[in-house]
Amino acid sequence: MMKKNKKAKVVEEKPYVKPLIRRRKPNRSIAGDVALYIFLALVAVVMVFPLVYAVSSALKPLDELFMFPPRIFARRPTMNNFSDLFVTMGKSWVTFSRYLFNTVFITAVGTAGHLIIASMAAFVLAKYDFPGGQTFFKLVTVAMMFTGYVTQIPNYMIINKLGWIDTYWAIIIPAFASPMGLFLMKQFMEGLPTALIEAAKIDGANEWLVFRKVVMPNVKPAWMTLIIFSVQGLWNNRASTFIYSEEKKTLVFALQQIQAGGIARTGQGAAVLVVVMIVPILIFVFSESQILETMASSGIKE
């Protein structure tokens, strides 16, 4: 028997051709990039100028504060304005530490309560359907249109009826119900995947555990932003409308009374401005870095 010779098929290897990768060219030219950076630098200078000028004014001696035309930077920097401020505060029959405690207590309790209540309410509104939920959120949205000056009289009448006048709760309790925090948290929680919450429930987590261990860590940018807004509002609250006792007044109120002391206290007034704004600025700086880090590393999308 004759065997058929199978002809081997010769496969011609084609030379490897490196695919051409077309890089997307930016729409801007080098001149456009330079112009953009120059514009951003100018905006940064405009934004930081009030802060630099305030700090510089607090370091100026009294004669430089009245110099015309005014100079941005102090020629002979001194800390006398701050030392005079603390001497003046020390002569008050209510100590500086008492004013500081009042402000820190109101700010800490008001911010914590606002964060807890707004987060829990936002979780229910964002992830559960119940009768009247949409109507309630519309009322919250409408409430954001009214400033504190519009609601000051009805707020005073309600707080007076509750017997909270001249107490810390007159400032703390209204801070709990600020509509801005609820709106912010609700809008952010709506972007949280429902599948993530359902998976936690399948694993045996109850509602409180889901809220504490799953929801809150994943909406960290929202509640960090809420903390910034709440601290800024409460720290700068004079509370003079509801609190009359000197031993319960806030630090900002006491400092502004010194600032209104006339020409002789102009240097102390400049120091007051720095003391009042330093805490909100520091909290904003530290919180902003955490917000950016969280947004970059823990974004979740369905």
- Per-residue pLDDT tens for 144-171? 888 777 888 888 899 999 988 988 999 9
Taking the CA atoms of 277, 278, 279 and 284 in sequence, report the sign of the dihedral they define: positive
Assess contact for 171 and 243: CB atoms under 8 A: yes
pLDDT at 3: 46
- Grade residue 110 by pLDDT with cuts at 50, 70 and 90: very high
Where are the domain boundaries for CATH 1.10.3720.10 in the chain? 83-297
- Grade residue 109 by pLDDT with cuts at 50, 70 and 90: very high
Assess contact for 247 and 175: CB atoms under 8 A: no
pLDDT at 27: 61
According to the CATH classification, is domain 83-297 in 1.10.3720.10?
A: yes
pLDDT for 256 beyond 60: yes
- Please state which of the ranges 183-192, 234-243, 265-274 shows the lowest mean pLDDT: 265-274
Taking the CA atoms of 98, 100, 101 and 103 in sequence, report the sign of the dihedral they define: positive
Helical H runs in the chain? 30-58, 62-65, 80-90, 96-127, 133-143, 152-162, 169-176, 179-189, 194-202, 207-209, 216-218, 220-235, 251-259, 266-297
Residue 275, classified by CB atoms within 10 Å of its CB into exposed (0-12), middle (13-18) or buried (19+), is middle
